[in-house]
Amino acid sequence: MKNELCLPAEFDEKVKAYAQIFAKFNKVHSLSNYKDISEQVLDSIRPLEIFDISAKTAIDVGSGAGFPAIFLAIAMPQTKWHLFEPIAKKSSFLSYAKIELGLQNLEVHSQKIELADKFTADLITSRALSKTKELIKICEGFYDENTKFLIYKGSSVMEEISGIDAQIYNEKNRNYIFFNLKNQGEIR
């Protein structure tokens, strides 16, 4: 393990509040198949223990019900998080959760990232959205060679990231992929 995880004092309280909000909304709006989010919370913040992750500005692409972005935003209160989610019921849920949890460091964008005004982020995260190289392509204009990518992937990922020099950490059925595009050449 690379880093000792030092979570803000209010982390557990905000996670409990999120769990209540999620359970209520999920019954009506079918945001996710998850009934118990405890494993999703741990999965979301696990990379903070593994990799050296810091950012002033971060983007989460395809934020869905908030895994991993909500929990990363709670764990990293000094980071400004931009969550991109084009599905209205999910972006509405994220906006509501932001208000209820008092997450001043979080902004929800109800649109696809490729349609948004461009800015450079220090960190781009995504979980279960698309293949890694497709993600890099749709995020064009939001990164430079120093931007770090943190991608949450399932068990079969090696072919998908061929040609990318990345740190990979495997745990159970999860691969955490961490890289930037510095000295990577052209990725196709």
Q: Which residues are annotated as a binding site for S-adenosyl-L-methionine?
A: 62, 67, 113-114, 127
Nearest in space to 18 (alpha carbons), one of 81, 57, 73:
73
Q: Which residues are annotated as a binding site?
A: 62, 67, 113-114, 127
109 by DSSP, 3-state: which? strand
10 by DSSP, 3-state: which? coil
Asked whether 41 and 68 are in contact (CB, 8 A), the reply is: no
- Run of H or E residues at 169: strand 167-171
C-alpha 68/C-alpha 106 separation (Å) is 13
